[in-house]
Structures are given as C-alpha cells and as structure tokens.
Amino acid sequence: MPARKRLSAFTLIELLVVIAIIAILAAILFPVFAQARESARKTSCLSNTKQMGLGVMQYVQDYDEMYPCNSWDTPPIGTADTDAKDATYKSAINWVWKVQPYIKNKQIFVCPSDPNAKNGWTGYSLDGTCGDGWGIPTPISYASNVEVLGYGGWENPNGCFGDGSFIPDWNMVPKSMAAIPTPASTYLIADYGRETLETWWVNNLRASNYTKVYNQSAPGGGAKVDDTDATWKSRRTNSGAYRHQMGSNITYGDGHSKWRNGNQITSGDDWQDLRHATEGIMPREY
C-alpha cells in the first residue's frame, strides 16, 4: 500500500506563541493609533481656532479696530438659527453671533475632542430668559477672554444683570487692538471649560475638559494650587481632563493660533502663575 501523506499543522504551543505576539503588537500599536487619532482631532480644532481668529480680525477691520464684545445687558441674539430657534433669546455671551457672519459655519464652535459640547459648564442652554443670561443656544467648546472681548451694555441698569458699573474697574470694557500692549502674547479665544476666559479660572484652560469629566470647575488660582490642592494635583495627571494631549488650542489677540501644553498656559498674573509670564489671559506687556 502506498504510504499515507502526512499533513503538517501548527502545534498548540506555536498557536499560543503567535497569539502572544499579536497581543504584544496590539498593546504597542493601539496607543499609537489613539495618539494619531487625537493628533488629527487636535489639528482640526486648531483649524477651528484659526478660523475664529480670522473672523475676529475681519470684524476688527470693519469696526474701527475694535474687538467684538459680549453684552452685560443681555440683548436678543438676533438669529433663530440656533438650537433654541429663538431670535429673541437673551444672552450676555454673544461674541459668537458677532463673528458668525465672517465664519458662516456653526460647526467651527465645536471641538472634536470635546466630550460634550452641550454641557452647561460652557454655557449651552435653551433657556433664553434673564434667569439664564449666560446661556449660549448652540453647542460650543470655546470661550473668549473677557479682558479683551469685554462687555458692552454695562451702563444699562434695566438689563438682566442690572448695574455693571464695576466692569471698568475690573478692566472688562470693550477693547481696541491698540488697548492690548502685546496682542501676539494675549489669549483671545481658546478651548475652555467655562463660558468666559478669566485669569482666576485659568486652570479650566490648562485642563479644558475638567468640567466635563468631573462636573465641577477646576480650582481657581492657577499654578498656586498645583501642589496645595490634593484633588487637583491628582486629577491634573489624568489625560482625559485635557482637551488635546495634555494641552489646549489657543487663538491670540493678533489672530494666530497654536497648541500650548497645559504647563505652558498662564493667567498672565505672575502671583498666580508662580513665575514671570510670557503670555496669558491678562493683557499686559509681556
């Protein structure tokens, strides 16, 4: 009888070795793929901030070099093209609607790395009454610097928020480009976890997803609390609290945009930053 041909096959040990190799390669490559996806989202967000910067610069050219501003007296936003579909919606945060004609794309106001662009911490709300004067009836991931895009309408005592006579003392009046000593070093619009960029709340810029992840504001006081607030000290090591690879995208007062590591981001207040700031929220000669 002819000899039976012997069929070759993998042994169990060989299969286990192959599976182990695949598992090791997956463990190595999956984080690389995740970083590549986040790099793409970061680039998309950077494009958003750049477009917003260009929109503001076009506005500035049309309005005698004055930056757009928010409105303390909460006037109607004047457009029904929002989730609220109400042109009479009252909001103090209306810089969005002032630059929108130059951008013509609401999607630009949503960062692809924002876990919830309809979270109330950044102002999203469908309640356009005086009771919610900080509301923004469209998904939004970014905020403007109140010390550059300040508040108009503060002289009106009959607005939703009443007398705003403190606003000049707080340096929050509308600004011209000439009023900003170093626009290329002053933050204008950025990834953020609240409605408006403020020096005391700079940690919501350093870790822009903090409010979305923990449903509370990051602590005030900038770098001064990095080692004294145990909760913040622990949570700020969580990459999920940040918008983009431990940092944020920022548009500056001259319209340019760039990514900054959270440790590079400052309020502009040397006391809070624990170092001499070279950029920040506070307009100054850096």
DSSP letters, the chain, are: -PPPPPPP---HHHHHHHHHHHHHHHHHHHHHHHHHHHHHHHHHHHHHHHHHHHHHHHHHHHTTTBPP-EETT--B-----STT--TT-B-S--HHHHHHHHH--GGGGS-TT-S-TT-GGGTB-S--SGGGTT-BSS---EEEETTTS-EE-TT-TTSTT---TTTTTTT-S--BGGG-S-GGGBEEEEE-SSSEE-STTTHHHHTTTHHHHHSSPPPSSGGGGTTT-HHHHHHTT-GGGSSBTTEEEEEETTS-EEEEETTT---S-HHHHTS--SSBSS-S--
pLDDT of 157 reads: 86
The count of other CB atoms within 10 Å of the CB of residue 216 is 11
Q: Give how many domains the chain has, as a whole number.
A: 1
pLDDT of 24 reads: 84
pLDDT of 283 reads: 97
- Tell me if 34 is assigned to some domain: yes
pLDDT of 159 reads: 87
- Tell me if 258 is assigned to some domain: yes
pLDDT of 6 reads: 59
- Tell me if 95 is assigned to some domain: yes
- Tell me if 172 is assigned to some domain: yes
pLDDT along the chain (286 residues), means of 10: 60 80 79 74 96 97 96 95 96 95 94 96 94 94 97 91 93 96 98 96 98 97 96 95 97 97 96 95 96
- Tell me if 4 is assigned to some domain: no
- Find the domain containing 244 and state its range: 14-273
pLDDT of 198 reads: 97
- Tell me if 286 is assigned to some domain: no
- Tell me if 280 is assigned to some domain: no
- Tell me if 242 is assigned to some domain: yes
pLDDT of 244 reads: 96
pLDDT of 3 reads: 57
Distances (CA, A) of 119 to 83, 86, 194: 14, 20, 10
pLDDT of 5 reads: 57
